[in-house]
């Protein structure tokens, strides 16, 4: 049976781990050919190998999303490998320090903004430039940015991250408005706590994971696959009237 993104060419950043890896795998399971990009070359390659082991089609490439030349090279690689770019998932991100604003180290603030904001901006810009040169494929072109529930409400434990994810939501709505009539849909996913390497600092040693999800209404921890399913669905023609929307995948945390 054909998948919901059958024949699409999908690019995922931060694909070496966590949510990005799960999304790359789901894109492939739903029929896309996938480019897995990450700053850790080996882990991106591992993701591509996992896809190939399941019979899917994938390649991997290095990217540091803060480096404009590397981002351009990533998009060029995708086009050289598969001929075009249909679906992008801008997902690479970092948490930064856990500190209040008064004590937040300046270099750490700069790092969070560079990866989460400038990195997402540079990727989206390079992707849009490429997509605008292409013919409309069925269902058009799609970009999904990984924001966070911290892009919708504040989390005082991680103020720079909160700033950065609010900016990702702003970038998403701005780009959606600019390119909606040119066949590019741009949405964001807003996960709450998802079990990945990034969320480890929120689990104090010996603490039950359940104590980190007290505000959820669904009684289990969020998994990378929960986010992946949403990203791929937003990238499919089933979501063809959805753009400029930050979609929560939070187990009801903000309900
Ligand atoms: N885990 C959560 O609870 C959670 C919640 C909400 C949002 N998010 C967001 O989801 C995204 C993925 O996070 P995750 O939880 O899977 O974390 P993760 O640490 O498992 O994965 C992040 C990936 O991004 C890569 N990366 C980091 N800096 C990069 C750079 N400069 N260039 C290219 N790649 C880079 C890392 O190598 C890693 O593979 C992030 O944007 C994060 O902010 C995570």
Could you tell me the pTM of the whole model? 0.97
- Give catalytic status of residue 109 as yes or no: no
* Residue 94 near ligand 1, beta carbon < 6 Å: yes
Q: What is the pLDDT along the chain (255 residues), one digit of tens a residue?
A: 899 999 999 999 999 999 999 999 999 999 999 999 999 999 999 999 999 999 999 999 999 999 999 999 999 999 999 999 999 999 999 999 999 999 999 999 999 999 999 999 999 999 999 999 998 766 689 999 999 999 999 999 999 999 999 999 999 999 999 999 999 999 999 999 999 999 988 765 566 665 555 578 998 999 999 999 999 999 999 999 999 999 999 999 999
CA 122 to each of CA 9, 92, 119, 145: distance values in angstroms, whole numbers, following the listed order:
19, 12, 5, 12
Active-site residue, from 82, 104, 109, 161: 161
CATH topology of domain 9-249: Rossmann fold (3.40.50)
CA 2 to each of CA 17, 60, 84, 223, 240: distance values in angstroms, whole numbers, following the listed order:
26, 24, 20, 25, 18
> Which DSSP letter does residue 194 get?
B
**Could you state, in order of their start, the residue ranges of all structural domains in the chain?**
9-249
Pairing between β-strand 184-191 and β-strand 141-146 as defined by DSSP bridges: parallel
The token pair at 222 is 């969020």
CB under 8 Å to 209, separation ≥6 — which residues?
195, 203, 221
* Residue 120 near ligand 1, beta carbon < 6 Å: no
Question: Measured from the CA of 193, which atom of ligand 1 is nearest?
Answer: 3
Q: Which of 13, 19, 46, 221 to mutate to test the pocket of ligand 1 (most atoms within 8 A of CB)?
A: 19
């Amino acid at each position: 049976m054909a998948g919901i993104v059958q024949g699409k060419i999908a690019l995922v950043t931060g694909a070496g781990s966590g949510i990005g890896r799960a999304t790359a795998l789901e894109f492939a399971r739903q029929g896309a050919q996938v480019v897995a990009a990450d700053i850790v070359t080996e882990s991106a390659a591992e993701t591509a190998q996992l896809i190939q082991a399941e019979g899917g089609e994938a390649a991997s490439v290095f990217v540091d999303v803060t480096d404009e030349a590397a981002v351009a090279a990533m998009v060029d690689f995708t086009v050289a490998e598969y001929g075009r770019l249909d679906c992008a998932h801008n997902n690479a991100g970092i948490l930064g320090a856990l500190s209040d604003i008064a004590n937040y180290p300046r270099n750490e603030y700069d790092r969070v903004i560079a990866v989460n904001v400038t990195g997402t901006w540079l990727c989206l810009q390079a992707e849009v430039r490429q997509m605008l040169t292409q013919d409309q494929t069925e269902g058009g072109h799609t970009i999904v940015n990984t924001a966070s529930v911290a892009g919708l409400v504040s989390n005082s434990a991680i103020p720079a991250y909160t700033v950065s994810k609010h900016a990702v939501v702003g970038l998403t709505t701005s780009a959606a408005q600019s390119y909606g009539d040119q066949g590019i849909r741009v949405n964001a996913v807003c996960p709450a706590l998802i079990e990945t390497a990034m969320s480890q600092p929120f689990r104090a040693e010996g603490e039950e994971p359940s104590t980190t999800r007290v505000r959820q209404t669904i009684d289990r921890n969020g998994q990378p696959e929960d986010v992946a399913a949403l990203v791929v669905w937003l990238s499919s023609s089933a979501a063809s009237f959805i753009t400029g929307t930050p979609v929560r995948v939070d187990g009801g945390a903000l309900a």
